[in-house]
Chain A
Amino acid sequence: MIPELGHFALIIAFAIAIVQSVVPIIGAAKNDTALISMARPTALAQFLFVGISYAALTHAFIVHDFSVQYVANHSNLVQPLIYRISGVWGSHEGSLLLWALILAAWTVAVAVYSRNLPEILMARVLAVMGMISTGFLAFMLFTSNPFTRIFPAPLDGNELNPLLQDPGLAIHPPMLYMGYVGFSVAFAFAVAALLGGKLDATWARWSRPWTTIAWSFLTLGIALGSWWAYNELGWGGWWFWDPVENASFMPWLVGTALIHSLASTEKRGVFKSWTVLLAITAFSLSLFGTFIVRSGVLVSVHAFATDPTRGVFILGFLIVVVGGSLALYAWRSASVVSYGRFTWFSRESALLLNNIIFLTAAGAVFVGTMYPLVIDAFGAGKISVGRPYFDTMFSLISIPLLLLLGIGPVVRWKGDNWSRIAKNVSIMLIASLVIGLLLPFFIEDQLNIATGLGLAGALFVALTTLKDLLSRMRQSARIPLAYAGMIMAHFGVAVFVAGVTVTVSYDVEKDLRMEPGSSYDIAGYEFRFQGTRKVKGENYIADEAVIEVWSDGEKTGELFPQKRVYSGKDNPMTDASIDKTFFRDLYAAIGEELEDGAWSMRVYYKPLVRWIWLGSLLMTIGGVLAVSDRRYRQAVTSRSRQGDDKASVMTSA
């Protein structure tokens, strides 16, 4: 009964979404207040019904209603409660429902928190978000219904892969989706501005905080995914350039370009149409990412052929969203004039350069991810693009990026004197280069240009960022949160780059054959293999190795990697054991038992690996700080008055 209620609520939500996307638009075109005022209530009602539908599916998971096919496929009786709740978004249908729920929630948040927005703009924004929702709900109802029943109902469901039963992975998709869907707000504002025909800087002002917070969620979501892979996959890697990862990384790169471009547009009224284009691109890539990850096209392009309706629907939806918004852009943006003037050496130029760099990076990822799919789709062979391609591209791209990141934030708007900042910057640049290039000598007595440059880059960004903060603090005691957020995020980049550089350059990875009692030395740590024992867990039995770690004649730690066999499963699973500290991780995993009690073993030393996630976390916090700026909100309030005036001029014209 309850699944039917959920299904029914979804149909009602779909009907409301159609009203939400049509009526306010007509109202805005005719300047009909009654129709315009339909926007908010329909958005609220849609959220309510999607929420009911989502609750119904969650309920089915909690009470083990295996007559619902989706529940039977993705949960079973012994699954703990938390993984039944997270099981809702474990696969295609449910994750679409989560997407729709988050979209409805963002829509309501816009309706509630943007009270100062001119009604006519608000109507258009909510209508555009309604259109996106309509597309998603239709997709679900017609091709991917999570409430489909099976008869007869099985007594127990399929087991969720034990690998996926991890708290990090449970919250990873919702965080990602918060980010993806959050970009729909910037998209909706951009399209609404285009529909209104007046593309002034106000839309940038309003959509900026939404975009920044969405970006923060996306950053956190990606970092969580990387953290999970490192801890659970048993390879000790933190990024694989896997198509699934790339699908989330592309919107992040374009989104990063967008939050910087929005700053120029808001503050100086420049790059207006460019920013609109970025908003459209960031959201299109988010949609694209959602679909290619969940629709199975990455597993095989031919997944489309086995279920053509889904494939056709996805393509159609993408064409409508991307094509429609680009057509609107082409039609409207010609009349846009950027009135801001700036010279070569200015903050505006620096931000433009930032955009070019980030888009180049996104382009590189796009080519590496999509080329194999295209080649396969045309039947021209099976290929894959190796990791070194991505690694090379990003090493090269990071050089201009880090240089720019050190200089850009201290350059003034409109135009600046190179001589004004040259002195400080060049001292710090030279100091960073000297220290950075010398560090490899101290670490391993040999020159390593790539490592040196990476370290120099991280150092340069850290120094210039801190210097900027200090001089700002000298000027005034009060530091605006928006500024603090920027500093925090940029400092996070420095921490991240240092972590990546050191981990990649100085990690030691050894596959060994070890007998009980033998030991092996890596990076000053002696791993002593004591032997194995049998361990029994809640739903598995395991062989557990005992490895003592000795350093300078003292025992500094113990590692207990396991090889688990879960009940009902044939294949063993590796459970790595990691000794974590701020400066290094020691990582051990066992392979299989060889002759004479010996085991194949994988032992890693990973210096500064923790800094990779610490840096990402700092970037996330930076975004949150920037959005929390009190002054920023006041500014919106006072400026939106002007916006109102402009809007009324606009509609009467």
Chain B
Amino acid sequence: MNKRSRRKVLIFGIVFGVSIATVLALTAFEENLLYFYSPTDVKAGKAPDSHAFRVGGLVVDGSVMREPDSLTVQFDVTDNEETMTVKYTGILPDLFREGQGIVAMGSMNDGGTFVADEVLAKHDENYMPPEVAEALKAAEDLAKQKAAQKAALEAVNQGSK
């Protein structure tokens, strides 16, 4: 094989290999992308029905309930605006506490409960998962916005009277 044709085959081989790798990578990638949603997003119907996703927020005080004789736990997660129920079977992380920020991975069941495969709390007690912190802030902003709109509307209504 002369140099030119050798190079052609070489380039072809590399392009071929890289394309196969890219197709496989993109397929695997697409299937394993996990989006994060806050309870407000979930209530607004933004979260997917069948696909897995992550949800995060603060564990509501007094909401943690254990089923007897099993490892199933149920608790509520909130972004201070909306609240949703999470169910998990297994051992919770050390840093799981009421009032603490957590991130759960799983999907919605038919009854509107989020069934988690994994519950994460970060390894630092002062630390809030960044997604949760942002979700709380977003929910707060939304609430403020609504309140402001309401106030403005009332002001307009009163003015027209």
Contact = CB atoms under 8 A, between A and B. Distances in A.
Interface of A: 161, 163, 233-234, 299-300, 302, 341, 343-344, 356, 360, 363-364, 367-368, 371, 381-389, 392-393, 396-397, 511-513, 569-574, 589, 591-592, 594-595, 600-602
A594 B66 contact: yes
Residue of B1, B31, B91, B124 with highest tally of chain A CB at under 10 A = B91
A356 B20 CA distance: 13
Contact of A388 (B14, B28, B91, B130): B28
B18 A382 contact: no
A383 B130 contact: no
Q: Which 9 A-B pairs have the closest CB atoms?
A: A382-B36, A591-B91, A386-B32, A389-B32, A300-B130, A392-B28, A511-B90, A389-B28, A360-B21
B25 interface: yes
Interface string B81-97: 00000000111101101
A26 to B, nearest CB: 40
Nearest to A384: B34
28 contacts: A161-B123, A161-B124, A234-B94, A302-B130, A341-B3, A344-B6, A344-B9, A356-B18, A363-B25, A364-B21, A368-B29, A383-B33, A383-B36, A384-B54, A385-B33, A386-B34, A388-B28, A392-B24, A392-B28, A511-B89, A511-B90, A512-B71, A513-B71, A570-B125, A571-B94, A571-B125, A591-B91, A600-B91
Given A344-B6, A360-B21, A594-B66, A385 B29 contact: yes
Contacts of B69: 513
Contacts of A602: 91
Interface of B: 1, 3, 6, 9, 14, 17-18, 21, 24-25, 28-29, 31-36, 52, 54, 66, 68-71, 89-92, 94-95, 97, 123-125, 130-131, 134
A393 B24 contact: yes
A371 B33 CA distance: 10
Contacts of A161: 123-124
A360 B6 CA distance: 22
The residue in A234, A344, A571, A573 that gathers the most chain B C-beta atoms within 10 A of its C-beta is A571
Nearest to B30: A389
A299 B132 CA distance: 12
B125 A591 contact: no
B146 to A, nearest CB: 21
Looking at chain B's contact residues, the main secondary structure is mixed
B33 A360 contact: no
Given A360-B18, A371-B29, A592-B92, 13 more contacts: A233-B123, A234-B94, A302-B130, A343-B6, A344-B6, A384-B54, A388-B28, A393-B25, A396-B24, A574-B94, A591-B71, A592-B91, A602-B91
Contacts of A513: 69-71
B90 to A, nearest CB: 4
A399 to B, nearest CB: 11
A163 B66 CA distance: 28
- Residue from the set A343, A383, A573 with the largest chain B CB neighbour count within 10 Å: A383
A302 B34 CA distance: 20
B101 to A, nearest CB: 13
A364 B22 CA distance: 9
Contacts of B90: 511
Contacts of A392: 24, 28
Contact of B94 (A299, A368, A572): A572
Nearest to A599: B91
A351 to B, nearest CB: 13
B23 to A, nearest CB: 11
Contacts of A386: 32-34, 52
Nearest to B130: A300
A573 B95 CA distance: 8
Given A360-B21, A513-B69, A571 B32 contact: no
Contacts of A233: 123
A388 B54 CA distance: 15
A565 to B, nearest CB: 10
B44 to A, nearest CB: 14
A388 B31 contact: yes
B97 A571 contact: yes
B115 to A, nearest CB: 15
Nearest to B103: A384
Contacts of A341: 3
A383 B92 contact: no
A303 to B, nearest CB: 9
Contact of B34 (A344, A364, A383, A594): A383
B62 to A, nearest CB: 17
Contacts of A591: 71, 91-92
A563 to B, nearest CB: 8
A268 B18 CA distance: 26
Given A383-B34, A396-B24, A574-B94, A299 B29 contact: no
Nearest to B95: A571
A233 B94 CA distance: 10
Contacts of A364: 21, 25
Nearest to A387: B32
A511 B91 contact: yes
A343 B35 CA distance: 49
Nearest to A361: B21
Interface centre among B21, B34, B52, B92 (most CB of A within 10 A): B21
Nearest to A302: B130
B143 to A, nearest CB: 20
Given A344-B1, A511-B91, A512-B71, A382 B134 contact: yes
A342 to B, nearest CB: 9
A397 B71 CA distance: 38
A394 to B, nearest CB: 10
